[in-house]
Amino acid sequence: MDFFISDAMAAGEAAPQGGGLQLVFMIALFFGIMYFMIIRPQSKKAKEHTSMLDALSKGDEVVTTGGILGKVVKMGDNFIELKISESANVKVQRHAITSIMPKGTMKGI
């Protein structure tokens, strides 16, 4: 019945290749890549958005997340009122502002 057992099985278990240090190094490398590719850019973008919202002032022309272009009329702690046409004002949340446009983007308003 010896012909059913291969030579590799008969020799016993082989020692694992590489040590535990290699595994720790690979996990650390993986988390390092994740930090520099995902976490760091997101936190940097969040800081830039917060500083842009802090610099926002009355009369700035802004774009919201919904794509509405308007001029800042009133500012509160959480809400901003935008003038989007001669007769229409819209109140939006402060964090819904995505960018500040150059002066003169809205002509005639």
- The mean predicted confidence, pLDDT, of the chain is 87
Provide mean pLDDT across the span 48-70: 94
- Output the pLDDT for position 105: 86
Range list of H helices, 1-109: 7-10, 20-34, 40-54
Judged by DSSP in three states, 2 sits in helix
Reported confidence tier of residue 10, pLDDT bands at 50, 70, 90: low
- Output the pLDDT for position 72: 95
Of 49, 50, 88, nearest in space to 68 by CA = 88
pLDDT in tens, 21-47: 899 999 999 999 999 999 999 999 999
CATH topology of domain 58-101: SH3 type barrels. (2.30.30)
The answer on pLDDT for 96 being more than 70 is yes
Residues 63 and 67: their CA atoms lie apart, in Å, by: 6
- Output the pLDDT for position 15: 53
- Enter the tokens of residue 49: 């958005």
Of 81, 82, 86, 79, nearest in space to 108 by CA = 86
What percent of the chain lies above the pLDDT cut of 70? 82
Sequence ranges of the domains in the chain: 18-55, 58-101
pLDDT in tens, 69-92: 999 999 999 999 999 999 999 999
